[in-house]
């Protein structure tokens, strides 16, 4: 019986290092310590590891350029992601070229085309709902692709996305502990995988912490204010920024009358008279993890599996006050 050939993943596991470290160690990359390189090489030999021929063919034409397709650069979440990817790429002696798709599926298709024609080593992309076709073309051209932030079910592409539950759970627990009884949630568009996942996480967290169903509210910021909620949780960066504008315009005393928790950290959330608590995806980690997964995929077409990163709660004055209930 012929065992299936070892993969880079097997070598990495045997050497006790990450796939990306194993890949770079075998490539003789000097950023990896000599001792580690030696250990990885020994493991590869013992396992009779042979790099995937397809990956090797690609490698011979390496450009050391990574293409990045993001929906927007004025959304601070994606701008920060672009920055993190570019920094991690520089640390790995790679260059990035970034294309913004303006949240438009046609534009995404065009951007991926342009990046593919630029002979990049691989592509990191935030997909749009219904953009499967654009990615199929890349697969046919054997261009390694990793998705980040949003899933594209059925595309079969390795994806790095965050799990909203830990952060959402901590947020609801924090509000309940501080006596905020009517909790409003600002949900994102129902056709986005991230929005659906976060709403489900919010509802699960409310269930876990015994929030009465009559004390859970959904709607836009104005509707929630009119219903007299005591706390608001936003479901993404754009919703957080829009809610902040509504609250300021209506002179709501954030951190005194209303507890407000945003989603994703950014400058605008931090630089407030009452800095805003956020459910944090750790966008730097998300971007860096996605780039390392792509590096592994470029090194060995069989290697990577999708990765889920955690979310957490950053508590700031906007929500950190107790509400005395009579």
- Binding stretches for a second copy (CB under 8 A): 65, 72-74, 76, 79-80, 82-83, 86-87, 90, 95-100, 102, 107, 110-111, 114-115, 118, 241, 244-245, 248, 251, 267-268, 270-273, 275
Q: Name the minimum Å distance from CB 40 to a second copy.
A: 28
Measured from the CB atom, is 99 or 319 closer to a second copy?
99
Measured from the CB atom, is 25 or 120 closer to a second copy?
120
E strand or H helix at 125: strand 122-125
Measured from the CB atom, is 71 or 304 closer to a second copy?
71
Measured from the CB atom, is 90 or 139 closer to a second copy?
90
CA distance 190 to 294: 29
Q: Name the minimum Å distance from CB 119 to a second copy.
A: 9
197 CB contacts (<8 Å, ≥6 apart)?
Answer: 164
3-class state of residue 231 by DSSP: strand
Q: Name the minimum Å distance from CB 43 to a second copy.
A: 34
CA distance 13 to 233: 40
Q: Name the minimum Å distance from CB 113 to a second copy.
A: 9
Pairing verdict, β 65-70 and 95-100: parallel
E strand or H helix at 233: strand 231-234
CA distance 147 to 124: 6
Measured from the CB atom, is 220 or 302 closer to a second copy?
220
CA distance 279 to 259: 14
43 CB contacts (<8 Å, ≥6 apart)?
Answer: 11, 14, 15, 49
Measured from the CB atom, is 93 or 322 closer to a second copy?
93
State the distance between the two ends of the chain, measured CA to CA, in whole angstroms. 74
Q: Name the minimum Å distance from CB 195 to a second copy.
A: 21
Q: Name the minimum Å distance from CB 240 to a second copy.
A: 10
Dmax (CA) for the chain in angstroms is 74
255 CB contacts (<8 Å, ≥6 apart)?
Answer: 274, 317, 318, 319, 320, 321
Measured from the CB atom, is 86 or 281 closer to a second copy?
86
Q: Name the minimum Å distance from CB 51 to a second copy.
A: 26
């Amino acid at each position: 019986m012929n065992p299936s050939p070892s993969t880079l993943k097997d070598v990495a596991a045997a050497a006790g290092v990450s796939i990306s470290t194993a890949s770079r160690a075998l490539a003789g990359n000097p950023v990896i310590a000599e001792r580690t390189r030696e250990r990885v090489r020994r493991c590869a030999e013992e396992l009779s590891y042979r790099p995937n021929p397809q990956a090797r063919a690609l490698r011979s034409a390496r450009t050391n350029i990574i293409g990045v397709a993001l929906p927007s650069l004025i959304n601070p979440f994606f701008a920060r992601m672009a920055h993190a990817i570019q920094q991690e790429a520089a640390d790995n002696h790679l260059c990035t070229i970034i294309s913004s798709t303006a949240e438009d599926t046609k534009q995404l298709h065009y951007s991926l085309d342009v990046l593919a024609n630029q002979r990049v080593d691989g592509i990191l992309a935030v997909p749009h709902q219904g953009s499967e076709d654009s990615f199929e073309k890349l697969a046919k051209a054997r261009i390694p692709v990793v998705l980040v932030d949003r899933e594209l079910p059925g595309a079969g592409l390795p994806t790095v996305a965050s799990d909203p539950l830990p952060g959402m759970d901590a947020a609801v627990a924090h509000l309940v502990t501080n006596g905020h009884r009517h909790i409003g949630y600002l949900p994102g568009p129902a056709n986005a995988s991230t929005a659906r996942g976060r709403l489900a996480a919010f509802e699960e967290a409310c269930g876990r912490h015994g929030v009465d169903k009559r004390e859970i509210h959904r709607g836009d910021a104005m509707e929630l204010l009119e219903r007299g909620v005591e706390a608001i949780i936003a479901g993404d960066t754009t919703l957080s920024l829009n809610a902040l504008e509504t609250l300021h315009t209506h002179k709501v005393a954030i951190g005194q009358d209303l507890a407000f928790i945003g989603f994703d950290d950014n400058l605008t959330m931090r630089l407030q008279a009452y800095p805003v608590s956020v459910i944090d995806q750790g966008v730097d980690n998300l971007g860096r993890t996605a780039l390392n997964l792509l590096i592994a995929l470029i090194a060995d077409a069989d290697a990577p599996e999708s990765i889920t990163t955690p979310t957490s709660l950053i508590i700031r004055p906007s929500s950190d006050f107790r509400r005395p209930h009579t």
